[in-house]
Structure 1
């Protein structure tokens, strides 16, 4: 009996530690601790040009450029969005190659770097930007000292590819629902959490262009990471729906494969919102053990934690759309 009790206590302790450390364990299992080998050069179509042997550029309009990394395993896409006076670089990849010369070759206007969120594959680790702007959220602002934010492992996850957790310089804070005037062009800043609690999207409402970061893109959406939250995901979906038209194009930060830039539509957003409600109510079955895979539509899946671990309480409910 004594041995049984000891074994039961040990099992409970191991199980509890596994739950507590589940995110760290998962990252270790799916990563190697170093950048992945480069993929082969791919055929990208007539609308895409190779900037060098790593980056591609796709012109979305005369002042909007998708800068892709098709040889990087995660198939990242970053966006240069320019007006007559200034430009925004929305995401910068992992920094495996310096994206700044690519962006500077596409515009002569001063560039502000804005990350869609703080994961390592979006902040351009080691790339030095003259001007960095970040979403103004209490949990980020409170930790900033001398205009630098020390990221946490949970925010950065860079150990997956051997990147140290950096201190990010902050030159400007942008508020949710701020309008960024680029000169003859305005971008609406949207707080779209879910994938992370610091995620944003940018919307050019006049042109019907939305840049969604990792919130939505073709393929599996990661809603099981350390600062993911399904309640936040629902809030983010409802926020994006307030500015998305039937003819809007939603440009995400990753794709499944070539050719060209990843694009989603209003229908995909509606499908995501509908799926989140169904998951919350228990009406949508998932597949697998961890993470659970929920099939949203033929191009979208949501990877989430099991129901008993899912969090449906938004971190900033006051930022939900009216």
Structure 2
């Protein structure tokens, strides 16, 4: 009976089964199948988006390689073990970080031995013995996903750098979608990995105690990113979908569709910042407003 309940969520929100067959799953032209579940999208030779295109939320996690270490940003839905993909791609020691604690980003987190958390990801959680956290507010109840035990090795502050060996990543707090969200920035390559901070299409920023969505925090996060990233930066999101009706789909029946791009641009970030400066407060009743051709905000 419970299975029937949590199977409803993907059908209502995305008009998809939880897991779609490979033959019915579309991927990008520059994306390849790794196996019958995971896909690979090479941003460059040492930056790889590991996708779960068959999963209804189409998560992408990012493997970022340096000369001495690699960093795995997010760990997918947990439907399959993403660590096996990582180990097939590199023999480097792995640091694992998460963009936030929602269940579709921490599914295989327990599989990693070296885990860093940002300070804002520890602040609201209860730290148990041996630096262990069993995160709350993961939304795992939506798909009957338990909260993992996360044993972390180090706490990273806002704007602090992680040296992977000839490649530095800066940790930037980016709350809004969730109070514990972070992004990672590679200044040299101008790559910003943003988790669920932003994605193409509609971003709901309606205050929610369950999701911990906050328009006020989102405004702060945008300023934090703007003050640290450089023109020409590309942003890499975790979910490549948008509302079908915004694709002018005449057969729209609700839900979301696969969008034409995973990346967003520095211009998108600047347009968003301008919009937020013009709309200081939340609306009493939620409204959808277009920021530009790529972004719409409900707030």
Tell me the TM-score range normalised by the shorter chain: 0.7 to 0.9
2:254 paired residue number? none
The one-character-per-residue Cα deviations of 1:221-274 (angstroms, maximum 9, x if unpaired) are 242342111111011111111233332111011111557861001111122222
- Give the number of the structure whose alpha-carbon radius of gyration is greater: 1
Say yes or no: does 1:31 pair with 2:9: yes
Distance of 1:234 and 1:252 partners within structure 2: 18
Q: Any stretches of 5+ residues in structure 2 without a counterpart?
A: 1-5, 242-256
| Count of residue pairs brought into register by the alignment | 269
Distance of 1:126 and 1:251 partners within structure 2: 20
Distance of 1:206 and 1:125 partners within structure 2: 29
TM-score, normalised to structure 2, is 0.81
Corresponding residue to 1:57 among 32, 40, 44: 40
Q: Counterparts of 1:303-314 in structure 2 under 5 Å?
A: 303-304=298-299
Query: Alpha-carbon deviation of 1:144?
Result: 0.6
Say yes or no: does 1:294 pair with 2:279: no
CA RMSD of aligned residues (A): 2.7
Distance of 1:209 and 1:138 partners within structure 2: 22
Say yes or no: does 1:144 pair with 2:127: yes
Instruction: Indicate if the aligned counterparts of 1:140 and 1:149 stay in contact, CA closer than 8 A.
Output: no
Assess, with a 3 A threshold, how the Cα gap between structure 1 residues 218 and 138 changes in structure 2: closer, same or farther.
closer
Q: Counterparts of 1:229-240 in structure 2 under 5 Å?
A: 229-240=214-225
Q: Counterparts of 1:26-105 in structure 2 under 5 Å?
A: 31=9, 36-41=17-22, 42-105=25-88
TM-score, normalised to structure 1, is 0.76
Query: Alpha-carbon deviation of 1:65?
Result: 0.3
Task: Report the secondary structure of 2:36's partner residue.
Answer: coil
Deviates more, 1:79-88 or 1:40-49: 40-49
Assess, with a 3 A threshold, how the Cα gap between structure 1 residues 46 and 32 changes in structure 2: closer, same or farther.
closer
Assess, with a 3 A threshold, how the Cα gap between structure 1 residues 188 and 116 changes in structure 2: closer, same or farther.
same
2:156 paired residue number? 174
Instruction: Indicate if the aligned counterparts of 1:293 and 1:302 stay in contact, CA closer than 8 A.
Output: yes
Distance of 2:142 and 2:67 partners within structure 1: 39
1:160 paired residue number? 142
Assess, with a 3 A threshold, how the Cα gap between structure 1 residues 179 and 172 changes in structure 2: closer, same or farther.
same
Task: Report the secondary structure of 2:41's partner residue.
Answer: strand
